[in-house]
Structure 1
Amino acid sequence: MRIPRELHPVAWWCWAIGLAVAATSTTNPVLLGLVVAVTCLVVLTCRSDQPWARAFRLYLWVGAAIVVIRVLFRLVLGGNSPGHVWIALPEVPLPDWAAGVSLLGPFTREEFLAGAYDGLRLAGLVIAVGAANALANPKRLMKSLPPALYEVGTAMVVAISVLPQLADSARRVRAAQRLRGGDSGRIRGLRRLVVPVLEDALERSLSLAAGMDARGYGRTCAVSAGQRRSTGALMIGGLLGVCVGVYAVLDGSAPRLMAVPMLLLGTALALAGFVVAGRRVRRTRYRPTRWQLPEFVVAASGVVVGAGAWAVQRWDYAVAHPGVTELPAVSLPSVLVVLVAVVPVWAAPPPVTTRTAAPVRADDPEVVPS
């Protein structure tokens, strides 16, 4: 039997980024539905019972809302597109300065499918990010970041933990209101719910900030002006090199010397800047999270899914981006690429929950008495 433990958060984010790349690389509804189904399966199998793990269904609702809003935009601003008319709405005339924009008008089946495909692609991206938030411990993620990314890491962790924190606050406030009784109507209950939830989330954020400040998180040691200038030069040079390299890779007419070589040079300069900037921070780690075989397998599955989806988009464009005038077709390689994302169901260790957590022994030398 495998011992329950938390997987490294970076491994979960590598897996989720691969799914996000796969979702953005296609508009095929079959493949996008398969991406969402695989994501839900892995989350339901591998998530713990922590507060951030219970916020995944909110991302599902957000994804569904994105699809509906995208179709509504097509309904309101589409119009005058050839195809099979479903709803014959009257067209609203617009002034000459709004030429090219149509308001209402006949709503066709092709417009509906185009809006649904685009919305489903964005929903797949949001659900992949939600899966990373539900599976990865945000506090361990912040601890695992390089020292040079302390400031950016703090903002990133706070940003990705907002929705799980609001979900946990809403659950606790609703439980308290049910115990007190009172009006449980949807409209009035929502009014009584919003203010306590926001207040609770703000208090928890301030407590987190105070705890980080008390522990000296992000404190830097004294550095000379020359070190600051060298660090800034390396970071700016690396950023410029990466931008030029990415532009040259995407633009086939650019000189090949400005493509991959410039991209590699910019990446090397940026990494050197990270190393130099990390020397300003002095910190110690208690029980550092180490990479083991399950972490490498989960991260590799995400890389395979992302690279495979990009290859399908490049070499089998008709499968990756089907039209709206015919039924979307799938191929065996495209389906197998998405199914690789199921590997964490067997590769990841069992999640740590209240049932699987090992009891603390009194003679444990790592237990510090309070």
Structure 2
Amino acid sequence: MPDRTATALHPGAWWLWALGLGTAATRTTNPLLLALLVAVSGYVVAARRPDAPWARSYGAFAKLALAVIGIRLLFAVFLGSPIPGTTVLLRLPEVPLPDWAQGIRLGGKVTAEGLVWALYDALRLAALLICVGAANALANPSRLLKSLPGALYETGVAVVVALTFAPNLIADVQRLRAARRLRGRPDRGVRGLLHVGLPVLEGALERSVALAAAMDSRGYGRTVQVPAAVRRTTTALTVAGLLGVCAGMYGLLTAAGGSYGAAVLVAGLGAAVAGLWLGGRRTPRTRYRPDRWDARAWLVAGSGAAVAALMSVAAVRLPGTLKPGVIPLIAPELPLWPAAACLLGLLPAFVTPPPNQPKSPQSPKSPEEPS
């Protein structure tokens, strides 16, 4: 029987790839580029998503993205937009507000420029949510928890439980609704929701009890004694690393700190990694069949990093194209080399192994068939 861990991709590579696409989405408001990033993530998910309950959350993230777009447009209609416009689409009754609420309005004129600006801003957040949904649909959360360093094990368990709650809840609702349809009972509306809600909560409680028992049987939360000097060094390195990462990111995001931002960020990351390595000595753990970070994982993570880096460069060199203006209203253009950079995100669909599919049973041969 072949080892599945030998052919499956490291879950951290999927998250780095998705975060790279999400970072690229935050660098632009061009709807054509954002749609291309969403299409790239959707194609990779369709090609490499396994048949597992936690892998069915991509549709929920897509629906959440559509809801974000709708809510953002409603806010722009009823609460106004900071973008002044001249193309008035409609006028709503305006509610007068006191002087201390200057800058906020309820109702009034709705302009095309304000709606388009709100749509561009909402599309950026929607694309980021869909990229995170792609990571949830491709990376096995249990294997991701197994790959975390010992110092982050307890935090990782909480994060994994939180991330798997929604997919398991969706799977339970779909299973119970299908069972009610087979019995000829209503599965929609308030009545169907009330009848499905109690079994779903019961299943969630049973999973929580089973998870607690499994964690206790595996010695979760037990630590070993380490010297006081090691504990103090771990704390100092971790705090210094976090401060360095924050200062480095601030330097990279501001024009004044461009000279020192990268160096401080690298130093902070090194201190944080050293602190995590020392902190892992308090929680010794063994891993059964650890996931290997092989060449395919480097290619997948590198493709996401390349998309993020190239889009960041494009945001500096082509600011007018990556962030199209709305005053006056102009049709967005598709820049060629940033679009080609987005297509680099398709690499995981060709270099990663296909998901493991259950084998169909072979039919027995008839006596007339040759052996």
TM-score normalised by structure 1 residue count: 0.90
Task: Output aligned runs, 1:126-137, within 5 Å.
Answer: 126-137=129-140
CA distance in 1, matches of 2:71, 2:176: 29
The CA deviation at 1:309 is: 1.3
1:107-149, CA deviations, whole angstroms, 9 ceiling, x for partnerless residues? 1111211111111111111111110010110000000111111
Q: 2:356 aligns with which of 352, 356, 364?
A: 352
Distance verdict in 2 for CA 1:105–1:195, change over 3 Å: farther
Distance verdict in 2 for CA 1:66–1:211, change over 3 Å: same
Q: Which moved more, 1:31-40 or 1:75-84?
A: 75-84
Paired residue total: 355
**Preserved CA contact (<8 Å) 2:180 2:186:** no
RMSD of aligned alpha carbons? 2.1
CA distance in 2, matches of 1:184, 1:279: 51
Distance verdict in 2 for CA 1:254–1:18, change over 3 Å: closer
1:282-306, CA deviations, whole angstroms, 9 ceiling, x for partnerless residues? 2211111112222221111111111
Q: Which residue of 2 aligns with 1:270?
A: 272
Q: 1:70 aligns with which of 72, 86, 103?
A: 72
Q: 2:46 aligns with which of 37, 44, 47?
A: 44
Opposite residue 315 of structure 2, the aligned amino acid is: Q
Q: Which residue of 1 aligns with 2:311?
A: 309
Q: Which residue of 1 aligns with 2:249?
A: 246
Q: Which residue of 1 aligns with 2:219?
A: 216
Q: Give SS of 2:118's match.
A: helix
Q: Which residue of 1 aligns with 2:297?
A: 295
Identity across matched positions, percent: 47
CA distance in 2, matches of 1:37, 1:262: 36
Task: Output aligned runs, 1:154-233, within 5 Å.
Answer: 154-233=157-236
Q: Which residue of 2 aligns with 1:282?
A: 284
Distance verdict in 2 for CA 1:213–1:83, change over 3 Å: farther
Task: Output aligned runs, 1:90-129, within 5 Å.
Answer: 90-129=93-132
**Preserved CA contact (<8 Å) 1:302 1:341:** yes
Q: Structure 2: which 5+ runs fail to align? A: 362-371
**Preserved CA contact (<8 Å) 2:252 2:258:** no
Q: Give SS of 2:282's match.
A: coil
Q: Give SS of 2:142's match.
A: helix
Q: Which residue of 1 aligns with 2:262?
A: 260
The CA deviation at 1:355 is: 3.4
Q: Structure 1: which 5+ runs fail to align? A: 358-370
Distance verdict in 2 for CA 1:320–1:95, change over 3 Å: same
Distance verdict in 2 for CA 1:137–1:230, change over 3 Å: same
Distance verdict in 2 for CA 1:216–1:79, change over 3 Å: closer
Q: Give SS of 1:91's match.
A: strand
CA distance in 1, matches of 2:94, 2:42: 41
The CA deviation at 1:180 is: 3.6
1:331 equivalent in alignment to 2:335? yes
